[in-house]
Amino acid sequence: MSPISNLGYMCIAASDLDAWEHFASAILGGICHRTADGGLLIRLDELEYRLQIFRSDDDDLAVAGWAVDSVRELEDFVTSLRVKGLAVHECSAQERDARMVECLYWCVDPDGLRHEFFTGARHATMARAFASRLLVGGGFETGRLGVGHYLQNARNPADTVAFYEQMLDLKVSDYIKEKDYLPGVDVEGTFIRARTGRHHSVAVTAMPTPKRVHHIMVQFKSLEDVGLCLDRCVDAGIPIEHSLGHHPNDRMTSFYARTPSGFSIECGWGAIVVDDRDWEIKTYSELSSWGHRMGAQSGL
Ligand SMILES: [Fe+2]
């Protein structure tokens, strides 16, 4: 099994940081801080950030940050990647400071997405303990499971899945193959997990959208916070890309709202955690068992 514990953070290249700050704090229920260079850090738990937003016209996912538990495991992992022929680079002290981690390396996948491998993410002080003024049900489901997940639109899904499986040594949880998901468009998704068992930290597909990422996902600890977040989106006029619904594989109840960068964020609750001892890889025939309708105005 991969030494990667979880997807620790995601970095987003965004054109409108003010919109992201409002979206993250007043809609999602995170806590925002601006950095000295004008970037935006979004806290979801006791760490200094889980989402890092920097200014760019890309409006897309820029970095997937993978957490490894110790320096020794991280260095052994980097050595193993280089033996496999992957070009892995050590980050500078300045880059480590920007990510607020002790040890940091990076590489690029076959689709061009930057991946970072780190250990020693900085925790906020007790005086700045995470306390959302919006969330009622215990906050975000993060911790050992990491920040959440992303759905990557790969130009060559087979090569990208091979990168995750064969290079990073992550595990396939299951597959979904839905015929005519959109008129004339079949969708195939591969769902991939890290060691601590969030059902998937990344899913790979080839959706017909221009962005590298279809959506990112954050998970609440209570269904009430999903509902309240949906209400806040509707009240604020934020487009609901997919109404409330349920996925058959990770069994998450969620809705999808449009972020200020144009791609979606899945706001969910109730996803399973995989136990490797009795896990069976399945192939499902639908992305959603109910709901997740496109273009539903109220999200319900
Ligand atoms: Fe998702």
Q: pLDDT digit string (tens) for 84-131?
A: 999 999 999 999 999 999 999 999 999 999 999 999 999 999 999 999
Ligand 1 geometric centre to CA of 217 (Å): 6
- What is the pLDDT at residue 241? 96
Q: For the chain, what percent of residues have pLDDT higher than 70? A: 98
Q: Give the count of alpha carbons within 13 A of 243, CB side only.
A: 11
Query: Are 161 and 190 contacting, i.e. CB atoms less than 8 angstroms apart?
Result: yes
**In angstroms, how far apart are the furthest CA atoms of the chain?**
55
The full length of the chain comes to 300
Q: pLDDT digit string (tens) for 50-95?
A: 999 999 999 999 999 999 999 999 999 999 999 999 999 999 999 9
Ligand 1 geometric centre to CA of 64 (Å): 15
Mean of pLDDT values over 152-157 = 94
Ligand 1 geometric centre to CA of 125 (Å): 31
Mean of pLDDT values over 31-36 = 96
Ligand 1 geometric centre to CA of 231 (Å): 20
Q: What value does the mean pLDDT of the chain take? A: 96
Strands 114-119 and 240-246: unpaired
Q: pLDDT digit string (tens) for 176-202?
A: 999 988 888 899 999 999 999 999 999
Ligand 1 geometric centre to CA of 79 (Å): 31
Q: pLDDT digit string (tens) for 156-167?
A: 999 999 999 999
Ligand 1 geometric centre to CA of 130 (Å): 25
- What is the pLDDT at residue 102? 98
Residue 127 token pair: 């005086």
Residue 281 backbone dihedrals phi, psi, to 5 degrees: -75, 125
CATH class of 143-291: alpha beta
Domain 4-128 superfamily per CATH = 2,3-Dihydroxybiphenyl 1,2-Dioxygenase, domain 1 (3.10.180.10)
Rounded Cα–Cα distance for residues 152 and 40 (Å): 23
Q: pLDDT digit string (tens) for 214-234?
A: 999 999 999 999 999 999 999
Ligand 1 geometric centre to CA of 266 (Å): 6
Rounded Cα–Cα distance for residues 106 and 125 (Å): 28
Ligand 1 geometric centre to CA of 127 (Å): 33
- What is the pLDDT at residue 299? 61
Rounded Cα–Cα distance for residues 240 and 257 (Å): 4
Domain boundary assignment for the chain = 4-128, 143-291
Ligand 1 geometric centre to CA of 287 (Å): 10
Rounded Cα–Cα distance for residues 132 and 281 (Å): 37
Residue 223 token pair: 């269904």
Ligand 1 geometric centre to CA of 191 (Å): 9
